[in-house]
Chains A and B, each alone.
Chain A
Amino acid sequence: MSRTTATVLVSPTEAAEVPPVTAAPARRRPPLPVAAISAATLSILVGLWSLAAWAGWVSSVFLPSPLAVLEALDLAARSGFADASLLQHTLASLSRVFGALLAALLVGVPIGIAIATSRIGRGIFDPIVEVLRPLPPLAYLPLVIIWFGIGEASKILVIGLAMGPPIIIATAAGVRSASTDRIRAARSLGASPRDVLRFVVMPSAVPSILTGVRIALGAGWSTLIAAELIAAPRGLGTMIQAAAGFLATDIVIAGIVVIAAIAILFEAALRRLERRFVPWATRL
């Protein structure tokens, strides 16, 4: 393809970004890493926020300064807010998410295997998953509360129901993705169907299951916070809701910052897990 067609295919602004097809002459500067650009973006946003608060463009009731939010974080951490310290709120939320994740894995992975490997399994579970998957969890939360009360079990159940479908679907897809030749190889070495499931099919499904966990954590985390906004003695959602009642905007924002930080940590931890345990997934 000639250079002219290449230029026609992209808009003028993008054209500057497209590297030339032929080897470029030695650059004077190495390109900025993406992380640096992202850090700059974040700094500028926080800077604008500070400026808005400092210059009084927005009342501090609606938008406290970043410094005030930090102080609120410190306050919530030391003396607590809404009858519990920040750490207690965070742990309450985290334990619900991980409790639900554990339950969703224990139930979801076998169901996913059943869907992918058996006609009967697919017949039983496919419709359940398909009905559950598009439902917003908050729609059935009141029903769950009526049935199971307002305790921890209800919350874990609702979060687990939100996490189940992505894990089930990812497990089924992973199991189906196991290569025919690898299964045949194991069989011709003398593996029983059980051996094949354990030593070939399940390892093949791990990358897909980890992706499912990633999606499930996203779904579970947002469901959790929403559920806590409605009813919970403790938790980050509860803290935010209580703070909003007092118009303590600094605590509200502090809570949001903690929620975002935890979500980012989840994501980073899962990426590490993937690199550590399934380095082959992206290479073969």
Chain B
Amino acid sequence: MSLHLDGVTLAYPPARSGRRDEPPVLRDLSLAIEPGAFVSVIGRSGSGKTSLLNLAAGFVAPSGGSVRVDGERVEGPGAERAVVFQDDALFPWASARDNVAFALRLRGLPGAERRTRAEALLASVGLAGAGDKAIWELSGGMRQRVGIARALAAEPRYLLMDEPLGALDAMTRERMHEFLLGIWQRSGAGILLITHGIEEALFLGTRVVVLAGRPGRIIADMPASYGRRFLRGEPARAIRADPAFVADRNALADMIHDEAERAA
């Protein structure tokens, strides 16, 4: 049981102006996300993180290799793999509540239940009472949280998130870390989190995958358990100050730095 990228290669057809010998965006990349795993992916801009997520979500087909869910080949997007987008991708013609309720409607829930459940989901991302707001009345961080609530409404087995906390201030971001760990624990879903934050990746993940481009490939896959320690009650501050945490963080930072030097 897992969401499994098996030796995938992703090459876009060469643009008319592009060089034919350009390396593919991703090459022979393998990654398995088990239910209950929390896989953080870091890497420089353009290293192929969003491309990796697009493959896992089924938005694009690999040019080589395969993507499988529980052994079955993925042919397209599906509700068991919900996505939180880098740009929120909310529906601006609907209220915050109706954006969330849309996911419930697709699951066949009756109208009244959709409403109360959507409100509850919004409350769970700290947006209680904002259900009637139009999308354009919300701040960037609020929109991202509506996007998370909408994805959770699908009750996915895998939750794929592309820099979902990018637009948040440091304080809200820390609260969202706790919130993400909470839903991870409660739902038992497998999570793929793409982020630019090394510390965030390490604090949340059960694994931190480092992507280097181009061609995009995995240059490190580091196990971690700081999120579990937080869930067991250890304060976030203490974890972040733990010498082991600091050492891991520095090792990851060095890896990305060295890779950038080599690429340049």
Q: Do the two chains belong together in a single complex? A: yes
A234 to B103, CA, bound (A): 53
Picked from B58, B93, B94, B102, the residue with its CB within 8 Å of the CB of A189 is B102
Docked-complex contact A188 and B78, CB < 8 angstroms: yes
Q: Which B residues from 201 to 249 make CB contacts under 8 A with A?
A: none
- Chain A residues near B151: list those with CB within 8 A: 189
A190 at the interface (CB under 8 A from B): yes
A181 at the interface (CB under 8 A from B): yes
A85 to B231, CA, bound (A): 81
Docked-complex contact A185 and B154, CB < 8 angstroms: no
Interface digits, B63-96 against A, CB 8 Å rule (1 contact, 0 not)? 0000000000000111101110101011111100
Docked-complex contact A284 and B103, CB < 8 angstroms: no
Docked-complex contact B135 and A284, CB < 8 angstroms: yes
Q: Least Cβ distance of A260 to chain B in Å?
A: 34
Interface digits, A185-207 against B, CB 8 Å rule (1 contact, 0 not)? 11111110001000110011010
Q: How many residues of B contact A (CB 8 A)?
A: 29
A57 at the interface (CB under 8 A from B): no
Docked-complex contact A278 and B57, CB < 8 angstroms: no
- Chain B residues near A191: list those with CB within 8 A: 106
Docked-complex contact A189 and B79, CB < 8 angstroms: yes
Picked from A189, A200, A279, A284, the residue with its CB within 8 Å of the CB of B150 is A189
Picked from A188, A203, A206, A280, the residue with its CB within 8 Å of the CB of B79 is A188
- Chain A residues near B107: list those with CB within 8 A: 190
Picked from A185, A279, A280, the residue with its CB within 8 Å of the CB of B89 is A185
Q: Least Cβ distance of B13 to chain A in Å?
A: 17
- Chain B residues near A184: list those with CB within 8 A: 57, 59, 77, 83, 85, 89
Known A-B contacts A189-B102, A190-B154, A283-B136; the reply to A182 vs B91 at CB < 8 A is: yes
Docked-complex contact B77 and A187, CB < 8 angstroms: yes
A199 to B91, CA, bound (A): 9
B134 at the interface (CB under 8 A from A): yes
Picked from A185, A204, A278, the residue with its CB within 8 Å of the CB of B83 is A185
Of all chain B residues, which has the CB nearest A183? Answer: B89
Known A-B contacts A184-B77, A190-B106; the reply to A280 vs B92 at CB < 8 A is: yes
A189 to B87, CA, bound (A): 16
Known A-B contacts A189-B82, A189-B150, A190-B107; the reply to A181 vs B87 at CB < 8 A is: yes
Describe A's contact surface by its main secondary structure: helix
A182 to B85, CA, bound (A): 9
Q: How many residues of A contact B (CB 8 A)?
A: 22
Most chain B CB within 10 A, of A189, A191, A278, is at: A189
A41 at the interface (CB under 8 A from B): no
A233 to B255, CA, bound (A): 84
Q: Least Cβ distance of A203 to chain B in Å?
A: 4
- Chain A residues near B136: list those with CB within 8 A: 279-280, 283-284
Interface digits, A273-284 against B, CB 8 Å rule (1 contact, 0 not)? 000001110011
Docked-complex contact A280 and B102, CB < 8 angstroms: no
Most chain B CB within 10 A, of A188, A195, A283, is at: A188
A279 to B93, CA, bound (A): 8
- Chain A residues near B83: list those with CB within 8 A: 184-185, 188
Picked from A179, A187, A188, A280, the residue with its CB within 8 Å of the CB of B93 is A280
Q: Which A residues from 149 to 195 make CB contacts under 8 A with B?
A: 179, 181-182, 184-191, 195
A24 to B167, CA, bound (A): 34
Q: Which B residues from 120 to 156 make CB contacts under 8 A with A?
A: 134-136, 150-151, 153-154
A186 to B83, CA, bound (A): 10
A184 to B83, CA, bound (A): 9
Of all chain A residues, which has the CB nearest B54? Answer: A184
A171 to B134, CA, bound (A): 24
Q: Which A residues from 101 to 129 make CB contacts under 8 A with B?
A: none
Of all chain B residues, which has the CB nearest A192? Answer: B106
A190 to B156, CA, bound (A): 10
Of all chain B residues, which has the CB nearest A190? Answer: B79
**Which chain B residues have a beta carbon within 8 Å of chain A's beta carbons?**
57-59, 76-79, 81-83, 85, 87, 89-94, 102-103, 106-107, 134-136, 150-151, 153-154
The 4 closest A-B pairs by CB, nearest first: A190-B79, A280-B92, A181-B89, A187-B77
**What are 17 A-B pairs at a CB distance below 8 A?**
A182-B89, A182-B91, A184-B59, A185-B85, A185-B150, A187-B77, A188-B58, A188-B77, A188-B78, A188-B83, A190-B79, A190-B103, A190-B106, A195-B106, A200-B91, A203-B94, A284-B136
